[in-house]
Amino acid sequence: MSVTRVTIKDVARSAGVSIATVSNVLNGTGRVSADTVRTVRRAIQELKYSPSQAARNLKDKKSRLIAVIVPLLHKGFLHDNPFYWQLVGGIEEGARAHRLHIMLVGADSEESYSFVKERHLDGLIVIGAFEGSEALERIVQWGVPSVFVDSYLADPNVYQILSDDEKGGYLGTKHLIDLGHRNIALLTGEIEPNGVHEARFLGYRRALKEAGIGYRPAWAVEEPPTMEGGARSVPRILALQGVSAVFATSDVAAMGLLSGLSERGLSVPRDLSVAGFDDLPYSRFATPPLTTVAQDIGLKGREAVRLLQAHMDNKEPPYRRKLIPVELKARQSTRFLEEGEGEPVDANEIRKGGDG
């Protein structure tokens, strides 16, 4: 039970050298004769010694530990969007490659972040922070190396990894327009200034404008980017006269929508075309397989670590803000709108339909 730790002293004694020498062979520092190196190495092997990070931290003020800050949806609960798991998976992978460990912390707006100093964390990856939040201020002010993912911060000095959200919004909408749709609803998370959803919303508007389609505010339906939110949006969407397609700014919302529509006996894409955003592993297994704007979430995580590492090394990286490319994946949840199918869905008519 009580782990009698093997320390550098034990190794020194066993090898018949000083602890400074052991430290030197451990770190490849100083000048040490090949013979001594060998002896020390052997002692290390025999004693199964591995140096205490805790002691090193104290000396170096380096922990080789970074924190990954994930937003808490409601108090005490990690956001249940599998997107985060994908992203954290990518970060974990990147961290492993850089010989870093990650501390996962779910944080709400009241988080003090005192652990950053207390644990001598080398860096931070913050997911979905918002401009002007107190926490953010604090972090930037401390000067702890940080990378913000999906955060849209105006400060040009801040390191950021984002998806090309505006383009994604454009591509998704354009795809529907190309299929002949003109009455396209947007199902989006709250459009906060400088947020991910705003960027996607802007892409939606650009595609609309380019096609000469007027933008109607009521057609941007805001619901939480969750399956519940998507399911709940159904009545609001069906209330839109003539709607033939919906572009959702997240796959989870799109899937909730799929579910809500199916519950009402509506068929996708027959009655309504639906496109999403993210390309979660799920999405191609949805019924029907979901057309979506794909981003490489794992890559996003790995890039975040890469950027952070450069920052921690004080190497000026080639960029401060990196955009992860997006691409449209057309699957079976969207369809070509035939001539004269202007208003395929009539909410009243639907209510008479089957109940699944």
Binding site for DNA (CB under 7 A): 5, 7-9, 16-21, 23-24, 26-27, 29-33, 35-36, 49, 51-52, 54-56, 58-60
| Residues in Cβ contact with 127 at an 8 Å cutoff, skipping those fewer than 6 apart | 68, 69, 70, 71, 84, 87, 148, 149, 150, 151
Tokens representing 37? 């190196």
CB of 135 to DNA, least distance (A): 22
Backbone phi and psi for residue 223, each to the nearest 5 degrees, phi listed first: -145, 155
287 binds a second copy (CB under 8 A): yes
Q: Which does 29 bind (CB under 5 to 8 A by kind): DNA, a second copy, none?
A: DNA
Nearest alpha-carbon partner for 185 in 127, 134, 253, 102: 253
Comparison of 224 and 289: residue with beta carbon closer to a second copy: 289
Scored b (16 or more CB within 10 A) or e, 83-115 reads bbbbbbebbbebbeebebebeebbbeeeeebee
Q: Which does 102 bind (CB under 5 to 8 A by kind): DNA, a second copy, none?
A: a second copy
Q: Which does 21 bind (CB under 5 to 8 A by kind): DNA, a second copy, none?
A: DNA
CB of 33 to DNA, least distance (A): 4
CA 32 to chain centre: 46
**Helix H or strand E encompassing 254:** helix 251-263
Task: Looking at residues 193 to 232 of the shown chain, list those that interact with a second copy (rule: CB under 8 A).
Answer: 227, 230-231
CB of 76 to a second copy, least distance (A): 5
356 binds a second copy (CB under 8 A): yes
Nearest alpha-carbon partner for 144 in 311, 318, 316, 300: 311
SS3 67: strand
Residues that bind a second copy (CB under 8 A): 1, 3, 5, 50-55, 57-58, 61, 63, 65, 68, 76-78, 80, 82, 84-86, 88-89, 92-93, 96, 101-106, 114-115, 117-120, 142-144, 227, 230-231, 255-256, 258-259, 262, 281-282, 284-289, 298, 332, 356
